[in-house]
Amino acid sequence: MHNDAGCYDELRGAVQKLAGSSFFKHPLKKYRAYKELIQAYMKGDEGRSGGDGDNDFHGLRNELRDVSRLNIGCGHDYVSGWLNIGLFPAEEIPENALADTGEGLVLNFDMRQRLPIASGSVEYIYASHFIEHLDFQEGIGFLKQCHDLMKSGGIIRLTCPDMEMWIKKYSGDDTGFFDDYKSLFSPGIHPSVRTKGEIFMSQVHNWGHKWNYDFDSIYHVLKMVGFGKIVKKSLHESGIPEIRALEPDIAGRKLETMYTEAQKE
């Protein structure tokens, strides 16, 4: 399980290196190398516990005592004034450790564990293209934790691929949408993938995705864990300050993203 944009954002630098290498000019070689990178990141999940809140993480709790804004699944898009949370190679940031990048405070942390922050202390949570990297039960557990961490009146914003939109594009035979997706998200799509069905399945099964949501589904799980005022939004339409700094205005994201906000009542 990797974050913002899952492996897409987290591996962006590595992909750029691949793209510039003459060895990887052949699309199949580039695809295979990209898949190996994803598998290497995914392998880092082995041995990570789901967590039950018993872990104090020693000094981490004290270091996070003043945190009230969480940017979960940040990739390498850090926002100053927020705790930017992602999974990173240990040589970049040690596991369960904080780093001050100069652009923002960054925590290498698996959010399937309990974040060592006091209940009722968080005002805003932004989680971009993260929840689809959790299976259904993990997703519910993550949202339960978010609800517990948040203050009354706090806002959570989730973005993820919009399953309903994908289905409508498929059933409407919108070949332009599928061509655009393949172009924007190459080299993470196998070069042999051609049809709209194959491209659809590459979204469902690639990038470390474990679940997909339409609005009814995300509404259901948010309501289940106690959130209210659940609303579908658009890009940068938000009750969260600094949303433009948090939310990337890039073609790949705008093409397929569903934006949802909810409030702890």
Domain count, the chain: 1
Average pLDDT, the chain: 86
Higher pLDDT, 1 or 120: 120
Which domain covers residue 26, as residue numbers? 7-264
pLDDT, position 33: 57
Does residue 123 sit within a domain?
yes
- Band (212; pLDDT cuts 50, 70, 90): very high
Per-residue pLDDT at 57: 75
Q: Examine residue 104 and state whether it is found in any structural domain, yes or no.
A: yes
pLDDT tens for residues 45-77?
544 444 444 455 778 999 999 999 999 999 999
Question: What's the Cα-to-Cα distance from 117 to each of 47, 65, 131, 136, rounded to whole Å?
Answer: 23, 7, 20, 24
Strands 227-233 and 257-264: antiparallel
Of the two residues 47 and 233, the one the predictor is more confident about is: 233
pLDDT at 186: 87
- CATH of residue 228: 3.40.50
Strand partners, 86: 108
Residue 58, C-beta contacts closer than 8 angstroms, at least 6 positions apart: none
Predicted confidence (pLDDT) per residue in 134-183, tens digit: 999 999 999 999 999 999 999 999 999 999 999 999 999 999 999 999 99
- Residue 1 inside a domain? The answer is no
* pLDDT higher than threshold 80 for residue 224: yes
Q: Is 120 part of a structural domain of the chain? A: yes
Confidence of residue 188 (pLDDT cuts 50, 70, 90): confident
Assess if residue 2 is contained within a domain. no
- Structure confidence at residue 187 as a pLDDT band (50, 70, 90): confident
Q: What is the mean pLDDT of residues 8-15?
A: 46
Asked if pLDDT for residue 192 goes beyond 60, the answer is yes
In a domain, 23, yes or no: yes
pLDDT at position 43 is 53
Angle ∠(191,194,200) on CA atoms, nearest 5: 100
- CA pair distance 81, 101, nearest whole angstrom: 12
* pLDDT confidence of residue 4: 42
Strands of the 227-233 sheet, one edge to the other: 98-100, 105-108, 83-86, 69-72, 122-128, 150-161, 257-264, 227-233
pLDDT higher than 60, residue 19? no
Residue percentage of the chain with pLDDT more than 70: 78
